[in-house]
Chain A
């Protein structure tokens, strides 16, 4: 099992460009999450999907959109990148049957916006 995979690993964008970060999990998990990690801020939840077909905003959703393509895949889109979106992005998944469970994390995508 690969667990949670993310592509790409690194990306450099110019202000105003768009891109989609891809995430997939092979653990048959119900819930998936996108976080951003910035120095001194810990991990902040951008969007999450409690189950296939649903998505909800997290703590810092502005400037992002998501798509839960199927049970396995959850993508994060930046429509018009800004320097403030320079960060490391992590995708995670969880069984999540009503009670908090362990989240499994991908290796991250390091994004720089110039």
Chain B
């Protein structure tokens, strides 16, 4: 069974600073990887996804993520954080033949200081 670890529960960055949120997965084959964002009181919105091909994936709102098979990682990055990026971020992994079931990490809460 697949699993996801987000080692950082809470991260604080200054507006304009760069951001990297860590995600490590466990899965035997090539995983299907996702990053979602959840603003307070809202549902989850997809930021980006990786299925195959180019290991650097571009998403919405200026986010990108890099798949590194050797490190079993799929870290989320943004060059310059905006105050509106304050939210909770979830990494998720899926596997073929599982009715698109996703396994979510426990999330990283991002705080942005002005």
Number of B residues near A (Cβ < 8 Å) is 26
Known interface pairs A41-B106, A43-B104; A100-B43 also in contact (CB < 8 Å): no
Q: In the complex, A51→B95 CA distance in Å?
A: 17
Closest to A105 in B: B43
Report whether B101 and A48 are in contact in the complex, using a CB–CB cutoff of 8 Å: yes
- B41, B43, B106, most chain A CB atoms within 10 A: B43
Q: In the complex, A96→B106 CA distance in Å?
A: 24
Closest to B96 in A: A99
Report whether A50 and B99 are in contact in the complex, using a CB–CB cutoff of 8 Å: yes
Report whether B96 and A100 are in contact in the complex, using a CB–CB cutoff of 8 Å: yes
Known interface pairs A102-B34, A107-B42; A40-B104 also in contact (CB < 8 Å): no
Q: For this complex, into which size category does the number of interface residues on chain A fall?
A: 20 to 34
Does chain B have a CB within 8 A of A103? Answer: yes
Does chain B have a CB within 8 A of A33? Answer: yes
CB neighbours (8 Å) of A96 from chain B are: 99-100
Residues of A within 8 A of B (CB): 4, 31, 33, 40-45, 48, 50-51, 56, 58, 90, 92, 94-96, 98-108
Residues of B within 8 A of A (CB): 9, 32, 34, 36, 41-46, 49, 51, 90, 94-102, 104-107
Besides A99-B100, A102-B49, 11 other A-B contacts (C-beta < 8 A): A31-B99, A42-B107, A43-B90, A48-B101, A58-B101, A94-B100, A103-B100, A104-B46, A105-B36, A106-B43, A108-B42
